[in-house]
Structure 1
Amino acid sequence: MVVTVYDVAQATGLSIASVSRALNARPGVSAATSARVMRTAADLGYRPNEVARSLVAKKTQTLALLVPDITNPFFPELVKGVQSVADESDQLLLLLDAPSEPDRLAQRLAALHRKQVDGVILVASELPAATGDVFDGMPGVFLDRAGSGGAPSVHVDQEHAAYLATRHVIQKGHSRIAHIQGPVNLTVSALRRSGWERACNEAGIASGDNRVFPGDFLEAGGHRAMERILDAADGTTAVFAANDLSAIGALACCASRGIRVPHDMSIIGFDGIELARYTSPALTTVAQPIRELGEQACALLLRRIAGEPADDIVLEASISHGGTVREWSGRADESSGGV
């Protein structure tokens, strides 16, 4: 049986108006009366009607998080960060797929607006050049992507992080570094390639199209790209993969070909997913602070909902040393460990 305000009023002998004021911590009832109402409500098992409360407050305490590929291990770690802050703030978090097609994405955001969610965090694969108000009038935050459409973002400088990864390999003595690229239609792929190019150009190392091999941010794409790199037999000694899943596919390809990593080939990834710690050897990668990205995005969205100022937040990436990059002296040997 559902216990109502009427039931609490009957049990206490008070008016419904007095009970409602006590339950909602509004003035007009004494502290003693309020305490009696709260005790009685708890004894009866009364639960407030959140729908009714949301109609009065014009807030549903519901947030939406849209991500492009929940099967990618990067995104569950991101979700954990968002969820932790949502839980602390007593917010319900809805997790939805972010369609890659702009029209479908707009339809999904419009549906969330109709459902009266308080705000949206969006990890979009790609957005059209002229986006306008992407969030359809709702408070919104872009996550893991630079913002647009007047909304702030929480992200890592993708180009600079890729530069750090490539420079790390160069500092280990490698001068023939291939790049396994992400999907060519994504801005994030272009930014990571740009960082690789900048580090190579700065060191006077070749970075032309013949050093770039197409991938798809998945293990299979990384495996195929690594096959092409090995088949080219052009003296490549190191590979910068545009994400960790691509790097893991490249590792598997090397193992199947009898190529020893890092003795014969060094590989560095991008993201810092938990899975990278458990490859053999453990993957060296430029790690994004994944959980912190999610936490900061949710906190930023809550500030936007409250009407507070909200600016972009750019976090730092760092090299996570595994065992797939080693010093290169111009020959393969057994003496050097990975870093």
Structure 2
Amino acid sequence: MKMSDVAKLANVSPATVSRVLTNPDVVSKKTREKVLAIIEQVNYQPHLVARQFRTMQTKMILVVVPDITSAFFSEVLRGIEHIAIEQGYQVILGDTENSVERENSYMNLLLQKQVDGVILLTAKLDKERLEELSNIYPLVLACEYIDGLNVPTVSIDNISSARKATEHLISLGHKKIAHISGPVNVILSRDRLRGYQQAMLGHDVLMESSYIQEGALTIESGYNQMKKLLALDTPPTGVFVYNDEMAMGAIKAVKDSGLNVPEDVAIVGFDNLKMSMVIEPHLTTIDQPKYDIGNKAGELLIKMIHKEDIQKKTYVMKDTLVIRESCGSNSKVTK
């Protein structure tokens, strides 16, 4: 009989069962009595070592990423790794491949006390589940976030960043500006779309519904969505793309269509990956301080593990618009 079996029978989470056994005062009387009744009924015996392990440190930190193949996360992970090593911790990595079930299974490492804390670089679990875990275990969100979640979070302001990227195209005289977004179920995609919309509305630039195409965060997706935009009767002259990888695909689609960047289509990306300085033309993009985001997230988590007070729950890091050749001030623009 496992703790998860007790939780299922009592219709509560494993974390609630754990609290009943280790810190019962934080659980309501009704829930506590229900869980204890099930424990008595099935004669559940928590493993002595596991209970003792609850008070020990493993000196291990778990970092959960949505997609390890994404170039974006390498610098974030390096920032985490450096602060962890400095403080005597090791980092283990969990790749969810954008699966909520995988993300949830990694969180069980907290319940089993196999790690001292978790940094989530993805946030697909529901808000209640994350808050429940964060009430018991050290937990930090980085890059992604959930509105109203009372968990330490490190990120940039994605809405203002996207607005800045779109306004750069507007400042160059573009009136037909499209947006290739990420999946709508990702909060960052919704925020960057909102920033694009704010810029367009704020400058009285007409937004065509056909100019907003949802992609899948890959080079191939950026290529395919750009092809759709170029097939329109009136294709855009400027495109703000959700991330640099998709923007690289978009640039290739423009070239394969016999057009040029930025002369025919100006393109702005997001993230400032190292590849953005290699692709031709070099990519104008929003620079996220990836290393600093990871380093700050690691610093906060280790403070929480040591039960130190943290000054605030939300850390908004500074972003920068990096202007390169993919927008070009001499691009042809149809007013």
**Where on the TM-score scale, by shorter chain, does this alignment land: which range?**
0.7 to 0.9
Aligned partner of 2:316 in structure 1 is 314
The 5-angstrom pairing of residues 256-271 of structure 1 reads 256-271=256-271
Alignment partner for residue 93 of structure 2, among 88, 92, 95? 95
How far does residue 110 in structure 1 lie from its aligned partner after superposition? 1.4
Aligned partner of 1:4 in structure 2 is none
Amino acid at match of 1:247: A
Separation in 1, partners of 2:54, 2:286:
47
Separation in 2, partners of 1:297, 1:323:
33
Is residue 2:299 matched to residue 1:299?
A: yes
Note closer, same or farther for the CA distance 1:161–1:68 as it changes in structure 2 (3 Å cut). same
> Identity of paired residues, percent?
30
How far does residue 128 in structure 1 lie from its aligned partner after superposition? 2.5
Separation in 2, partners of 1:116, 1:235:
53
Is residue 2:324 matched to residue 1:326?
A: no
TM-score by structure 1 length? 0.77
Amino acid at match of 2:73: F
Separation in 1, partners of 2:315, 2:215:
29
Amino acid at match of 2:322: S
Number of residue pairs matched by the alignment: 280
SS, match of residue 124 in structure 2 = coil
Separation in 2, partners of 1:110, 1:261:
48
Aligned partner of 2:167 in structure 1 is 167
Compare 231-240 and 135-144 and name the one that shifted more.
Answer: 135-144
Separation in 2, partners of 1:67, 1:180:
23
How far does residue 63 in structure 1 lie from its aligned partner after superposition? 0.6
SS, match of residue 220 in structure 2 = helix
**Greater Rg by CA:** 1
The 5-angstrom pairing of residues 82-231 of structure 1 reads 82-98=80-96, 100-131=98-129, 132-135=131-134, 137-147=136-146, 149-231=149-231
Structure 2 stretches lacking a partner, 5+ long: 1-48
Amino acid at match of 2:140: V
Separation in 1, partners of 2:285, 2:66:
22
CA contact (8 A) 1:180 1:241 kept: yes
Please list the CA deviations of residues 204-242 of structure 1 after superposition, one character each: whole Å capped at 9, or x if unmatched.
012242220121111011000110111104141100001
CA contact (8 A) 1:176 1:238 kept: yes
CA contact (8 A) 1:141 1:151 kept: yes
Compare 57-66 and 169-178 and name the one that shifted more.
Answer: 57-66
User: Cα RMSD (Å) of the superposition?
Assistant: 2.2
How far does residue 129 in structure 1 lie from its aligned partner after superposition? 4.8
Structure 1 stretches lacking a partner, 5+ long: 1-50, 333-339
